[in-house]
């Protein structure tokens, strides 16, 4: 008897949850997400709920997990996280569809709860406007609920938990063709609308159009002097200035902070005699300088691409600090972004680094949004995790002990000087076969602030001195080329550099954590 009752209960459950209910939930969730993304793309005051939830998760993950994701995924960490967030949301949608087939009021409760969580996550964002975020989520939730109700209705799912049997005249009709039409339309519409909205979020990295004196931040990019860019003569070598579209981006911001430039202020506070507060127009109205500088991520592996050189335009950091007047207790420059990220480095380093900037322009353009608009710090010679704060809002002078930036409690070194590095660009990693005989090996080497005094290429056991191209400044990398002769067969090519202080690059190997990778970049080639 008990077995018969159990079988009957399972049959009733299957009848109450028709095939397609999970798909109905997925389509409904997609429609709600797309609606929210479209509204977020219309104004900077509505963050993307999908990204806001992702950011909430990232901010609460252990440092080792975040570090591991960055090391494994590199610049792809954000797209991967967004894709995972979307997959999780759609899987939850499938569960919502099955729940709605059993109890539509229960599904409505879940939609409201998810909306409240998304609201709280969105309101963590400094740019979020409560009424607009609430409106966007209300629209998204209502659309998701309406689509779910309609799709389940076409499946005849609003019968509740009635026992299986012949349908009664009061049961809603089953119309699978209507279900398919609405499902396909909802799916395609969500993909198109959501895709267009995602493309518009952040303008693909383009900063909002500034006003007032801001155009002074975008100086035309002058041509690199003849003979100063090896990329014009050796194909495959990194250009002396990295194009913006190729410049690496590594940070903790899942959601690009979109500061309202009209209300944005840069504040210099803490242990200072004269606190400063500058609007964007006031900052860009100052005498701006150009600096060619290389910056690097501490997560860069030996031979990695998380390093780049740009022509930055901005206000010297030391100028702002001296104007504020550091007091006796000022030992650290602690910078804070509009979304709360912090980084700190010694005040003495800021004073001794003339090329350190509060940058507002990059490679002839107003600073792109994905690289820190409206302003960011650029401090040649320090890894980005202690210095290169983007979407800059505050510079606070503090004591050194007891005040740490974001990454320090997560296991990274308090001080982050860039280590000597060199990379082989030619032959490229994929070019495992080269023509025997004369071969050009070429690449870049760096020790920002100290400069590069020499580069040596090791061909098996033979050391060959490379030719250096005159760098654009002491703060940039150096391009190098080294003609070698390779006999037929397998060869090991390695590179090492010597900095301006006479220190030779360590053979390593050492991983990026906790203070930067070390080792000679080595590739294997076969001459044929």
What is the arithmetic mean of pLDDT over 45-58?
82
Strand 489-499 and strand 521-527: the pairing is antiparallel
Predicted pLDDT at 215: 44
* Res. 162: pLDDT tops 80: no
What is the arithmetic mean of pLDDT over 186-212?
66
* Res. 58: pLDDT tops 50: yes
Q: What is the pLDDT of residues 35-45, one digit of tens each?
A: 999 998 888 78
pLDDT band at 135 (very low <50, low <70, confident <90, very high): very high
Higher-pLDDT residue of 167 and 247 is 247
Q: What is the pLDDT of residues 395-407, one digit of tens each?
A: 999 999 999 999 9
Mean pLDDT for all residues in the chain:
87
* DSSP bridge pairs for 268: 276, 395
What is the arithmetic mean of pLDDT over 304-309?
95
Least confident residue range of 159-168, 199-208, 312-321: 159-168
**Percent of the chain beyond pLDDT 70?**
87
> Tokens 């035309």 map to which residue?
220
pLDDT band at 57 (very low <50, low <70, confident <90, very high): confident
Q: How far is 367 from 364, CA to CA, in rounded Å?
A: 9
C-alpha 170: how far from chain center: 54
* Res. 163: pLDDT tops 70: no
Predicted pLDDT at 66: 67
pLDDT band at 55 (very low <50, low <70, confident <90, very high): confident
3-state secondary structure of 236: coil
Burial of 453: CB neighbours in 10 Å, binned 0-12, 13-18, 19+: middle
Higher-pLDDT residue of 457 and 179 is 457
Predicted pLDDT at 317: 98
Are 64 and 411 in contact by the 8 Å Cβ rule? The answer is yes
What domains are there in the chain, each with its CATH number?
2-205 (no CATH), 214-410 (3.90.420.10), 421-527 (2.60.40.650)
Single out the residue of 448, 453, 443, 372 nearest to residue 416, CA to CA: 448
Predicted pLDDT at 172: 54
Predicted pLDDT at 375: 97
* Res. 205: pLDDT tops 50: no
Higher-pLDDT residue of 48 and 109 is 109
Residues in contact with 27: Cβ distance below 8 Å, sequence separation at least 6, in sequence order? 93, 147, 151, 182, 183, 186, 187, 190
- Among left, alpha and beta (phi > 0; psi -120 to 50; other), residue 376 is beta
Residues in contact with 436: Cβ distance below 8 Å, sequence separation at least 6, in sequence order? 486, 487, 488, 527, 528
Q: What is the pLDDT of residues 17-39, one digit of tens each?
A: 788 899 999 999 999 999 999 99
What is the arithmetic mean of pLDDT over 404-433?
91
Q: How far is 289 from 378, CA to CA, in rounded Å?
A: 13
What is the arithmetic mean of pLDDT over 182-188?
89
* Res. 160: pLDDT tops 80: no
Predicted pLDDT at 121: 87
Range 132-137 contact pairs with CB under 8 angstroms and sequence separation of 24 or more: 132/39, 132/43, 132/45, 132/46, 133/45, 133/46, 133/47, 135/39, 136/35, 136/36, 136/39, 136/40, 136/46, 136/49, 137/36, 137/49
Predicted pLDDT at 243: 96
Higher-pLDDT residue of 279 and 60 is 279
Predicted pLDDT at 44: 76
pLDDT band at 417 (very low <50, low <70, confident <90, very high): very high
Torsion sign over Cα 155, 159, 162, 165: negative
CB atoms within 10 A of CB 285: 14
Q: In the structure encoding, which two tokens stand for residue 359, read together? A: 């940058």
What is the arithmetic mean of pLDDT over 360-375?
94
H-helix segments, 155-232: 176-200
pLDDT band at 72 (very low <50, low <70, confident <90, very high): low
3-state secondary structure of 497: strand
């Amino acid at each position: 008897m008990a077995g018969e009752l159990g079988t009957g209960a399972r049959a009733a459950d299957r009848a109450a949850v028709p095939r397609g209910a999970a798909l109905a939930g997925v389509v409904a969730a997609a429609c709600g997400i797309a609606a929210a993304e479209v509204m977020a793309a219309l104004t900077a005051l509505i963050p993307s709920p999908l990204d806001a939830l992702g950011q909430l998760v990232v901010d609460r993950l252990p440092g080792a997990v975040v570090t591991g994701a960055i090391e494994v995924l590199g610049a792809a960490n954000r797209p991967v996280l967004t894709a995972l967030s979307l997959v999780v949301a759609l899987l939850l949608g499938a569960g919502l569809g099955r729940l709605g087939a059993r109890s539509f009021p229960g599904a409505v409760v879940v939609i409201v709860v998810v909306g409240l969580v998304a609201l709280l996550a969105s309101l963590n964002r400094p740019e979020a406007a409560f009424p607009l975020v609430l409106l966007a989520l209300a629209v998204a939730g209502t659309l998701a609920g309406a689509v779910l109700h309609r799709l389940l209705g076409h499946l005849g799912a609003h019968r509740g938990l009635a026992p299986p049997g012949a349908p009664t005249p009061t049961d809603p009709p089953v119309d699978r063709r209507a279900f398919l039409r609405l499902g396909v339309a909802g799916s395609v519409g969500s993909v198109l609308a959501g895709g267009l909205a995602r493309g518009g979020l952040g303008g693909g990295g383009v900063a909002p159009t500034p006003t007032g004196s801001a155009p002074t931040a975008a100086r035309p990019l002058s041509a690199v002097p003849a003979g100063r860019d090896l990329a014009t003569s050796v194909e495959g070598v990194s250009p002396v200035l990295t194009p913006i579209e190729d410049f690496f981006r590594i940070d903790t911001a899942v959601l690009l902070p979109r500061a309202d430039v009209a209300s944005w202020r840069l504040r210099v506070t803490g242990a200072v005699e004269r606190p400063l507060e500058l609007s964007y127009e006031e900052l860009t109205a100052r005498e701006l300088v150009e600096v060619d500088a290389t910056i690097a991520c501490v997560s860069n592996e030996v031979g990695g691409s998380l390093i780049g050189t740009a022509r930055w335009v901005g206000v010297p950091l030391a100028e702002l600090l001296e104007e504020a007047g550091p007091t006796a207790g000022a030992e650290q420059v602690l910078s804070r972004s509009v979304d709360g990220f912090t980084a700190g480095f010694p005040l003495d380093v800021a004073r001794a680094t003339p090329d350190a900037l509060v940058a507002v322009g990059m490679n002839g353009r107003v600073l792109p949004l994905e690289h820190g608009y409206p302003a960011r710090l650029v401090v040649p010679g320090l890894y980005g995790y202690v210095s290169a704060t983007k979407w800059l809002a505050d510079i606070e002078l503090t004591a050194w002990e007891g005040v740490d930036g974001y990454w320090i409690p997560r296991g990274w070194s308090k001080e982050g000087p860039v280590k000597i590095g060199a990379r082989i660009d030619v032959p490229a990693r994929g070019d495992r076969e080269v023509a025997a005989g004369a071969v050009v090996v070429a690449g870049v080497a760096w020790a920002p602030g100290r400069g590069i005094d020499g580069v040596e290429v090791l061909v098996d056991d033979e050391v060959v001195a490379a030719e250096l191209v005159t760098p654009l400044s002491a703060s940039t990398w150096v391009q190098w080329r080294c003609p070698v002769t390779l006999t037929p067969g397998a060869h090991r090519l390695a590179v090492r550099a010597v900095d301006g202080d006479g220190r030779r690059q360590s053979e390593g190997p050492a991983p990026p954590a906790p203070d930067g990778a070390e080792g000679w970049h080595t590739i294997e080639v076969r001459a044929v």
